[in-house]
């Protein structure tokens, strides 16, 4: 921790504790030690002292022992030439400050006639009233507002101390925070002005209902923000009074609050900021003060300074790790799943983007948090209203996302969402992905005011809504100039290619964690998919990266990380921890499964498999049939009959449900010899595999002419015929070890 900050905080704390001690003495002299002291209408006494120390302050006489405790907490101000770790002492000084402030504020309530605050329980501040200061919130307000913090309708609060340089900035800051559903708690002053006063001057409605809450003009009034937080931890977090650890952790983990220091940072502010750090609330300052950047008590940085006013809210949100709440997609047309399947014919079309007639693509790219600005949407080139009706134009949707938990691997997963996100807008058609993008916007949507920029708005709003767990910022650029689209398309294509290679390059042996998928247990109760880099889910919809992203987004969902543990059988694909997981997650129905075998306890299937691999005993080979092929197969059963045999979470040696692309994996039934066993495929599936690199895989297996040796329904549809075919073409499976 910066020594300058620590020294300042400790100095400030000494000053505050001394001042409050004197005030308590004066009060006791005036009213006697038995005089009651309390905040209005609360069961939590002086909440910080009660929550952290478990001690009840009910009368003035209860205060001096607390002051003694504060003094014990107060460390010495570090000497000029002393260099030791400062964080601990500074945090202690911060805590002492908070206790002292709690008492200083409570003293204001001792004489109701002199109390500077509006009556307890005031939620709405009359614009005509000179007094705008609310002081401590009572328990009714705390409960009502606390619910919003728990259910997420308010993500947190900003404790603003001081004031920005002018009224205009104050209004802008307040509006920006309101738009993010944050509560703004205001206290203290900078050059004699508090932000709440600036807002009042500008005619902004203050009070709990507008979430702009002026606590008081003294710095000590900032304590009401932490008092609120402490009570919330006791009321909603089940923390018992005195369980300081739980109180502080609840706030760190649940209440996304931060301190905005606007103006000259005094020693007192430093001391209070140190107190807030105990709660995990970082400080963001507009002035140039030393920073505390390493992570530790707070989730990320502790003190970030010299942030310009137009960036300060987004910086605070980023530093506190706060998630933005978006309630409604901000576009001029209706938006929802009902419009997803809508088609736009030529007659109803205002404009067409991409498709067969023009280049178009969409692209998602990860950026650093500092590199992009959230909700910045640019259209580079002409907007929709600058085109004639009915034209086809080049188009590029370039989306940049950033997030503390975002990983490069998630780019394609997010990009794949664009299709259904954009399609949900009424009057907008989206087909294809990557560089085969094809879009249309209807006349009706155009007349309603839909513009290209709204495509960016949809993506911004929905990505925050659905992927807020991993995405903190979304910036969108839309290009309509042919030159630029073509230029960027080349860049995008290079990345598409790189992505395909990266996934293809991942090996089961190189990772120590696989992922589970129990999504289908709703109808196949004992089925468990174990998804590895080289064995995608049998439905074809989930590969390892999808699972990883799904887990980050929904940590309690059906995709969970599975550490492999010790290898039990490297050939058949068994691992200690995976065996255990399968046993438990299948409700003890499946003892273990071999990831790479079709003969020994093969993996179970739910019913969603894209294809089924089947052993053909006479041929010493296997065949694969996919869902789209409805004709006869050499095993004597059609797909539908086979599906009944394989599905439902049971293990049937000789049969296994798989995804189509798994056939091209090096781990495709590798326990029984892999691809070389493959003797029959439906023609369409074979063509699909050839397009996806079957030839290359055959070469890797050492049988370059295998593609031609795999029969299709055009060659044979019975096992006898297939056996003859295999002999005729010299299929390698005939020479392999017997399967059974």
Partner 1 sequence: MAFAIPKENYAGKVREIVIGKGDKAVKIGGYDSMPLCTFEGTWPNKPVVAMEVYDVAPELNAQGWPPATFEAFKDVINDPGAWAKKCLEYGADLICVQLAGTDPNAQNKSAEEAIEVVKKVKEAVGDIPLIIWGSNNLEKDQEVLPAIMEAFPNENWLFGPAEEGNYKKITASAIGYGHLVAGKSSIDVNLAKQLNILIENLGLSLDKVVMDPTTASLGYGIEYTYSVMERISLAALAQNDDKMQNPFINDLAKEAWKTREAMLTVEEEPTYGEQNTRGILMESITAIDLIAAGSSILIMRNPTAVKVIKELINELYS
C-beta of 155: minimal distance to partner 1 in Å?
12
Are 214 and 131 within 8 A, CB to CB?
Answer: no
Q: How far apart are CA 222 and CA 214, in angstroms?
A: 9
C-beta of 239: minimal distance to partner 1 in Å?
10
Q: How far apart are CA 89 and CA 71, in angstroms?
A: 12
Exactly one of 123, 148, 481, 721 binds partner 1 (CB under 8 A); which one?
148
Exactly one of 75, 207, 237, 673 binds partner 1 (CB under 8 A); which one?
237
- Which residue stretch of 146-154, 186-194, 210-218, 381-389 sits at the interface with partner 1 (rule: CB under 8 A)? 146-154
- Listed in sequence order, the residues at least 6 apart from 267 whose beta carbon sits closer than 8 Å to its beta carbon are 8, 9, 11, 12, 15
Q: How far apart are CA 654 and CA 612, in angstroms?
A: 10
Exactly one of 32, 238, 617, 631 binds partner 1 (CB under 8 A); which one?
238
C-beta of 142: minimal distance to partner 1 in Å?
9
Distances (CA, A) of 232 to 322, 532, 656: 18, 43, 53
Question: Residue 236 interacts with partner 1 (CB under 8 A)?
Answer: yes
Query: How many chain residues interact with partner 1 (CB under 8 A)?
Result: 24
Distances (CA, A) of 470 to 402, 464, 556: 8, 9, 15
Closer residue to partner 1 in complex, CB, 65/238: 238
Exactly one of 41, 235, 287, 465 binds partner 1 (CB under 8 A); which one?
235
SS3 558: coil
- Closest by CA position to 247, among listed 260, 227, 233, 257: 233
Exactly one of 30, 129, 153, 264 binds partner 1 (CB under 8 A); which one?
153
C-beta of 237: minimal distance to partner 1 in Å?
6
- Listed in sequence order, the residues at least 6 apart from 490 whose beta carbon sits closer than 8 Å to its beta carbon are none
C-beta of 151: minimal distance to partner 1 in Å?
4
C-beta of 183: minimal distance to partner 1 in Å?
15
Closer residue to partner 1 in complex, CB, 306/584: 584
C-beta of 703: minimal distance to partner 1 in Å?
43
Question: Residue 41 interacts with partner 1 (CB under 8 A)?
Answer: no
SS3 38: coil
- Listed in sequence order, the residues at least 6 apart from 701 whose beta carbon sits closer than 8 Å to its beta carbon are 674, 675, 676
Contacts 24+ apart (CB under 8 A), 380-383: 380/477, 380/478, 380/479, 380/480, 380/481, 380/484, 381/478, 381/479, 381/480, 381/481, 381/484, 382/480, 382/481, 383/451, 383/452, 383/453, 383/480
C-beta of 146: minimal distance to partner 1 in Å?
6
- Considering only residues 524 to 543 of the shown chain, the ones binding partner 1 according to CB under 8 A are 525
Closer residue to partner 1 in complex, CB, 28/150: 150
- Considering only residues 105 to 144 of the shown chain, the ones binding partner 1 according to CB under 8 A are 143-144
- Considering only residues 253 to 272 of the shown chain, the ones binding partner 1 according to CB under 8 A are 254
17 phi and psi angles, rounded to 5 deg: -60, -40
- Considering only residues 182 to 201 of the shown chain, the ones binding partner 1 according to CB under 8 A are none
Q: Match 């790189």 to its residue by tokens.
A: 498
- Which residue stretch of 282-290, 296-304, 429-437, 551-559 sits at the interface with partner 1 (rule: CB under 8 A)? 551-559
Question: Residue 328 interacts with partner 1 (CB under 8 A)?
Answer: no
Question: Residue 632 interacts with partner 1 (CB under 8 A)?
Answer: no
Q: How far apart are CA 492 and CA 641, in angstroms?
A: 44
HEC string of 595-641 equals CCCCCCCECCCCCCCCEEEEEEHHHCEEEEEECCCCCCCCCCCCHHH
- Which residue stretch of 149-157, 196-204, 413-421, 465-473 sits at the interface with partner 1 (rule: CB under 8 A)? 149-157
Q: Match 């295999």 to its residue by tokens.
A: 726
Distances (CA, A) of 622 to 175, 675, 678, 701: 66, 9, 5, 16
Q: How far apart are CA 510 and CA 507, in angstroms?
A: 5
Question: Residue 588 interacts with partner 1 (CB under 8 A)?
Answer: yes
- Which residue stretch of 6-14, 29-37, 187-195, 230-238 sits at the interface with partner 1 (rule: CB under 8 A)? 230-238
Question: Residue 246 interacts with partner 1 (CB under 8 A)?
Answer: no
Q: What is the DSSP letter of 112?
A: G
- Considering only residues 711 to 730 of the shown chain, the ones binding partner 1 according to CB under 8 A are none
Closer residue to partner 1 in complex, CB, 462/697: 462
CA 687 to chain centroid = 39
Exactly one of 72, 501, 522, 640 binds partner 1 (CB under 8 A); which one?
522
> What string of DSSP letters covers 646-692?
H-SS---TTEEEE-GGGGGSTTTTGGGTGGGGEEE--HHHHHHHHHT
C-beta of 150: minimal distance to partner 1 in Å?
4
Q: How far apart are CA 284 and CA 294, in angstroms?
A: 14
Closer residue to partner 1 in complex, CB, 360/524: 524
Closer residue to partner 1 in complex, CB, 151/566: 151
Are 579 and 497 within 8 A, CB to CB?
Answer: no
Q: Where are the beta strands (DSSP E) in 480-556?
A: 513-517, 529-531
C-beta of 134: minimal distance to partner 1 in Å?
20
C-beta of 154: minimal distance to partner 1 in Å?
11
Q: Match 């204001």 to its residue by tokens.
A: 108
Closer residue to partner 1 in complex, CB, 254/454: 254
Q: Match 């009233």 to its residue by tokens.
A: 129
Exactly one of 2, 251, 518, 560 binds partner 1 (CB under 8 A); which one?
518
C-beta of 554: minimal distance to partner 1 in Å?
9
**How would you label 702-721 residue by residue, b for 16+ Cβ within 10 Å and e otherwise?**
eeeebbebbbbbebbbebee
C-beta of 522: minimal distance to partner 1 in Å?
4
- Pairing of β 655-658 and β 611-616: antiparallel
C-beta of 369: minimal distance to partner 1 in Å?
26
Question: Residue 151 interacts with partner 1 (CB under 8 A)?
Answer: yes
- Pairing of β 376-380 and β 473-479: parallel
- Which residue stretch of 49-57, 64-72, 521-529, 691-699 sits at the interface with partner 1 (rule: CB under 8 A)? 521-529
- Which residue stretch of 335-343, 463-471, 514-522, 673-681 sits at the interface with partner 1 (rule: CB under 8 A)? 514-522
Question: Residue 469 interacts with partner 1 (CB under 8 A)?
Answer: no
C-beta of 525: minimal distance to partner 1 in Å?
6
- Which residue stretch of 125-133, 215-223, 554-562, 686-694 sits at the interface with partner 1 (rule: CB under 8 A)? 554-562
Q: What is the DSSP letter of 125?
A: -
Q: Draw the binding track, 555-584, toward partner 1 (x: CB under 8 A; -: no contact).
A: -xxx-------------------------x
Question: Residue 521 interacts with partner 1 (CB under 8 A)?
Answer: yes
Exactly one of 240, 507, 587, 696 binds partner 1 (CB under 8 A); which one?
587
Binding site for partner 1 (CB under 8 A): 143-144, 146-148, 150-153, 235-238, 254, 518, 521-522, 525, 556-558, 584, 587-588
């Amino acid at each position: 921790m910066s020594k300058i900050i620590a020294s300042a905080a400790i100095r400030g704390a000494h000053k505050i504790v001394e001042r409050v001690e004197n005030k308590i003495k004066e009060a006791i002299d005036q009213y006697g030690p038995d005089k009651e002291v309390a905040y209005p209408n609360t069961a939590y006494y002086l909440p910080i002292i009660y929550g952290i120390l478990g001690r009840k302050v009910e009368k003035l006489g209860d205060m001096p022992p607390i002051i003694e405790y504060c003094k014990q907490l107060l460390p010495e101000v570090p000497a000029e030439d002393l260099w030791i770790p400062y964080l601990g002492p500074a945090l202690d000084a911060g805590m002492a400050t908070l206790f002292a402030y709690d008492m200083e504020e409570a003293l204001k309530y001792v004489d109701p006639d002199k109390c500077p605050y509006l009556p307890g329980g005031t939620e709405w501040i009359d614009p005509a009233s000179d007094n705008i200061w609310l002081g401590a919130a009572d328990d009714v307000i705390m409960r009502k507002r606390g619910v919003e913090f728990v259910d997420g309708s308010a993500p947190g609060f900003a404790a603003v101390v001081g004031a920005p340089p002018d009224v205009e900035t104050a209004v802008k800051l307040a509006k920006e925070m309101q738009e993010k559903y944050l509560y703004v708690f205001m206290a203290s002053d900078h050059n004699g002005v508090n932000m709440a006063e600036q807002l009042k001057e500008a005619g902004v409605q203050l009070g709990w209902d507008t979430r702009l809450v002026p606590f008081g003009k003294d710095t000590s009034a900032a304590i009401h923000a932490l008092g609120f937080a402490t009570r919330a931890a006791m009321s909603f977090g089940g923390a018992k009074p005195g369980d300081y650890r739980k109180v502080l952790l609840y706030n760190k983990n649940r209440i996304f609050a931060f301190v905005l220091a606007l103006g000259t940072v005094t020693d007192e502010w430093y001391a209070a900021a140190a107190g807030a750090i105990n709660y995990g609330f970082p400080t963001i300052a507009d002035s140039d003060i030393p920073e505390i950047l390493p992570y530790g008590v707070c989730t990320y940085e502790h003190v970030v300074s010299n942030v310009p006013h137009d960036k300060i809210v987004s910086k605070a949100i980023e530093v506190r790790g706060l998630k933005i709440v978006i309630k409604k997609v901000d576009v001029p047309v209706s938006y929802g799943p009902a419009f997803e399947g809508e088609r736009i014919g030529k007659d109803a079309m205002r404009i067409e983007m991409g498709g067969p007639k023009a280049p178009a693509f969409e692209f998602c790219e990860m950026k650093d948090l500092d590199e992009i600005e959230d909700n910045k949407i640019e259209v580079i080139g002409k907007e929709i209203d600058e085109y004639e009706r009915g034209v086809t134009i080049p188009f590029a949707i370039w989306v940049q996302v950033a997030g503390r938990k975002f990983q490069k691997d998630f780019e394609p997963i997010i990009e794949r969402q664009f299709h259904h996100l954009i399609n949900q807008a009424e009057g907008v058609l989206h087909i294809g992905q990557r560089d085969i993008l094809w879009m249309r916007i209807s006349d009706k949507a155009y007349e309603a005011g839909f513009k290209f920029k709204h495509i960016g708005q949809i993506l911004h709003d929905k990505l925050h809504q659905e992927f807020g767990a991993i995405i903190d910022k979304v910036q969108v650029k839309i290009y309509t100039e042919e030159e630029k689209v073509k230029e960027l398309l080349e860049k995008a294509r290079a990345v598409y290619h790189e992505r395909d290679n990266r996934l293809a390059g991942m090996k089961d042996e190189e990772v120590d964690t696989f992922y589970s998928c129990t999504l289908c247990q709703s109808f196949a109760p004992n089925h468990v998919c174990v998804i590895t880099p080289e064995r995608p889910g049998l439905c074809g919809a989930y590969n390892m990266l999808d699972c990883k992203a799904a887990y980050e987004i929904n940590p309690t969902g059906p995709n969970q990380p599975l550490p492999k543990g010790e290898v039990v059988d490297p050939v058949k694909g068994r691992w200690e921890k995976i065996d255990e997981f399968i046993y438990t997650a299948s409700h003890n129905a499946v003892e273990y499964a071999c990831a790479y075998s079709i003969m020994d306890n093969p993996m179970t299937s739910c019913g969603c498999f894209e294809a089924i691999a089947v052993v053909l005993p006479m041929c010493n080979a296997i065949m694969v049939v996919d869902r789209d092929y409805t004709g006869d197969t050499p095993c004597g059963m059609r797909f539908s009959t086979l599906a009944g045999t394989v599905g439902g979470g049971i293990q049937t040696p000789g049969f296994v449900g798989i995804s189509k692309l798994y056939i091209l994996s090096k781990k495709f039934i590798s326990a029984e010899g892999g691809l070389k066993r493959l003797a029959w495929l439906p023609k369409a599936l074979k063509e699909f595999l050839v397009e996806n690199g079957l030839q290359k895989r055959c070469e890797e297996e050492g049988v370059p002419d295998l593609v031609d040796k795999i029969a299709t329904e055009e060659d044979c549809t019975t096992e006898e015929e297939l056996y003859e075919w295999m002999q005729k073409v010299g299929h390698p499976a005939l020479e392999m070890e017997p399967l059974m």
